[in-house]
Chain A
Amino acid sequence: MKESAISIKGLVKNYGKLKAVNNISLEIGDGEFFGYLGPNGAGKTTTINAIVGLLNYDKGSVKVFGNDVVKDYIQARKLIGFSQQELMFDPFLSVRDILLYQGGYFEMKGEELERRVEKLMKDFGIKKNENDTFRRLSGGMKRRLQIAKALVHEPRILILDEPSAGVDVELRHNLWRYLSRIHKEGKTILLTTHYIEEAEKLCERIGVINKGKIVALDKKEHMLKELSEQLIKIDLKEKINKLPKSLGKYKCDLNLKKGRITIKCKNAQSQVAGILRDLDKEGLEVINLDIVKDNLESIYIKLTGERNELNGL
């Protein structure tokens, strides 16, 4: 296994009685695109804040490429580019100066810094606003500035806390393309979101957090395979009123309603051939067959018990 970019062990953070983060352990590999998914208030931002140095946590340890974020905080911070959930900037500074100062804080200067800032302003389409203060920018433009700012010092790790919040569809898709590209170029990316589609599109591995605990953590494909159930819907020519006996041997949820058999279980798909054979043996003719697969969305709802107002549409 490659060196861990981020290593979190037994992280605990309480706010009074509230366990905002309740014993979380998480390894994110070098070059990985990791999606941290969970409903509002799950503890995503609290976890992120522990990594970037904005949280006094109660227990556990957090390391960034082996650097403890408390003891070796300078080394750890050099490696991270962080885009906060809230869009707040120095109100005295122009867009351009915001980026220049950010570079300065991260030990960049002169020509190199100027060139980097120019490039980012072009890449993110904020060049035309370079002399405006951030208050004059639209929500989408602020988000672009926010992410550009995280990238000024070319960090090895990019941490984005809800980058798609309040962003229109076009920008979101542009952003996804951009992130995919820099990920291919080798950047480690940690992204929190409550847009399931976002995690499904971009991330290689996904952690689902709910009420301060990680409730699922796996490669995206695995998670889909392991947790997803399939639903097979079979319409028969003959309107039967009792489930065929032969289907009893499948360990699935069986249902019969108005002549339609529904079969729901984890590996239903792989059983289709057998099921059809059994029905045929009983002399039942199938006129329609439909297989519905779970997506990440429905898995997520099952794990968190929450239907997301944005994704549930």
Chain B
Amino acid sequence: MNLTGFRALTIREVKRFMRIPAQTILPPIISSALFILIFGSFIGGNVGEVEGVPYILFFVPGLVMLNVITSSYSNSAFSLFIMRFLNHISDILTAPLSYLEIVLAFVIGAVIRGMIVGILIFAVSAFFVELTFHNIFLTAFFIIITSVIFSSIGLIVGLWAREFEHLELFTTFLITPLVFLGGVFHSVEMLPEFLKGITYLNPFFYLINGLRYSVIGTSETSLLLSFGFPVFLALFFFGLTVYLFREGYNLRT
């Protein structure tokens, strides 16, 4: 194992997004603060309690999940695509780094960004509601596992993409709609019967539900699914990414 090289690449990944916080960290924090202010304070008062907690506490985990997903996805998708686009990816491809080490370094960079964003959104919400965690280790678990899933997907899209627009396609048409429908702001109970069924098919629902459980302590579905499913997805996409790197998909000619 090339620990020194792995460390260097991980540090490079973290420094990359730290250098441009106005593009990487601030936007999700600002938009979340607005959601919390408007939905939580102004509207939330009229909504009352959902699942036995103030509305604001109900949707903050959803908001965190939404932004952890987009942050970790964008981080690795853009980082890898820019390397490919500017053609300096050969630096790491000709270095004595294993494909596992390369993918892991990218993923850790994205996980760190996901965690920073998640923690900051929780911190903002603490100004508006008394924030308590049912199980903070589970909170960390769900943020990390989600970042692993979506940074791996980000790497796959970063390999596949031929233009910058391709990276956005995925967020605009897949991630954002599915996350919102997965229950960032609403509980399944609020939905008509036929939409409930569909929600259970939405993978994002389980992620949101899992994180929400770690905060408020109640779950809308089987906990086993909310744990098992993300772990399965993380292993699957991470493994697929390492495989694509090993095969040199769009990396070697």
Q: Which residues of A contact B (CB under 8 A)?
A: 15, 49, 52-56, 73-75, 77-78, 80, 82, 84, 86, 88-92, 101-102, 104-109
Question: Which residues of B lie under 8 Å from residue A54 when comparing CB positions?
Answer: 90, 93-94, 252-253
Q: Which residues of B contact A (CB under 8 A)?
A: 2, 4-5, 7-9, 12, 15-16, 19, 83, 86-88, 90-98, 247-248, 252-253
Question: Which residues of B lie under 8 Å from residue A106 when comparing CB positions?
Answer: 5, 95-96
Given known A-B contacts A49-B253, A77-B94, A88 and B88 have beta carbons under 8 A apart: yes
CB distance from A81 to the nearest CB of B (A): 9
- Chain A: CB-nearest residue to B15: A92
Chain A CB within 10 A, most for which of B19, B94, B95, B98: B94
- Chain B: CB-nearest residue to A20: B253
CB distance from A82 to the nearest CB of B (A): 5
- Contact A56–B253 (Cβ < 8 Å): yes
Question: Which residues of B lie under 8 Å from residue A108 when comparing CB positions?
Answer: 4
**How many angstroms between the C-alpha atoms of A145 and B98 in the bound complex?**
25
Question: Which residues of B lie under 8 Å from residue A90 when comparing CB positions?
Answer: 12, 83, 88, 91
Given known A-B contacts A55-B253, A101-B8, A107-B5, A92 and B16 have beta carbons under 8 A apart: yes
**How many angstroms between the C-alpha atoms of A89 and B83 in the bound complex?**
9
Question: Which residues of B lie under 8 Å from residue A78 when comparing CB positions?
Answer: 96
Question: Which residues of B lie under 8 Å from residue A104 when comparing CB positions?
Answer: 4-5, 7-9
Question: Which residues of A lie under 8 Å from residue B95 when comparing CB positions?
Answer: 77, 102, 105-106
Given known A-B contacts A92-B19, A107-B4, A52 and B252 have beta carbons under 8 A apart: no
Sample of 20 A–B contacts (CB below 8 Å): A15-B253, A49-B253, A54-B90, A54-B93, A54-B252, A55-B252, A74-B2, A77-B94, A88-B86, A89-B91, A90-B83, A91-B88, A101-B91, A102-B91, A102-B95, A104-B7, A104-B8, A105-B8, A107-B2, A107-B5
* Given A74-B96, A106-B5, 15 extra CB contacts under 8 A: A53-B94, A54-B94, A55-B252, A56-B248, A73-B96, A77-B94, A77-B96, A80-B94, A90-B91, A105-B5, A105-B92, A106-B95, A107-B4, A107-B5, A109-B4
Question: Which residues of A lie under 8 Å from residue B90 when comparing CB positions?
Answer: 52, 54, 82, 84, 88
**How many angstroms between the C-alpha atoms of A53 and B92 in the bound complex?**
11
Chain A CB within 10 A, most for which of B19, B86, B92, B252: B252
Question: Which residues of A lie under 8 Å from residue B94 when comparing CB positions?
Answer: 52-54, 77, 80, 82
CB distance from B96 to the nearest CB of A (A): 4
CB distance from A140 to the nearest CB of B (A): 19
Question: Which residues of A lie under 8 Å from residue B253 when comparing CB positions?
Answer: 15, 49, 54-56
Question: Which residues of A lie under 8 Å from residue B92 when comparing CB positions?
Answer: 105
**How many angstroms between the C-alpha atoms of A273 and B29 in the bound complex?**
91
CB distance from B126 to the nearest CB of A (A): 33
- Chain A: CB-nearest residue to B4: A107
Question: Which residues of B lie under 8 Å from residue A55 when comparing CB positions?
Answer: 252-253
Question: Which residues of B lie under 8 Å from residue A56 when comparing CB positions?
Answer: 247-248, 252-253
Question: Which residues of A lie under 8 Å from residue B83 when comparing CB positions?
Answer: 90
CB distance from B149 to the nearest CB of A (A): 26
**How many angstroms between the C-alpha atoms of A92 and B15 in the bound complex?**
9
CB distance from B57 to the nearest CB of A (A): 39
CB distance from A107 to the nearest CB of B (A): 5
- Chain A: CB-nearest residue to B249: A56
**How many angstroms between the C-alpha atoms of A105 and B95 in the bound complex?**
6
**How many angstroms between the C-alpha atoms of A56 and B246 in the bound complex?**
11
- Contact B93–A105 (Cβ < 8 Å): no
CB distance from A108 to the nearest CB of B (A): 7
CB distance from B89 to the nearest CB of A (A): 9
CB distance from B246 to the nearest CB of A (A): 10
**How many angstroms between the C-alpha atoms of A259 and B15 in the bound complex?**
78
CB distance from B1 to the nearest CB of A (A): 10
Chain B CB within 10 A, most for which of A55, A82, A104, A108: A104
**How many angstroms between the C-alpha atoms of A212 and B12 in the bound complex?**
38
CB distance from B148 to the nearest CB of A (A): 23
Q: Which of A49, A74, A109 contacts B98 (CB 8 A)?
A: A74
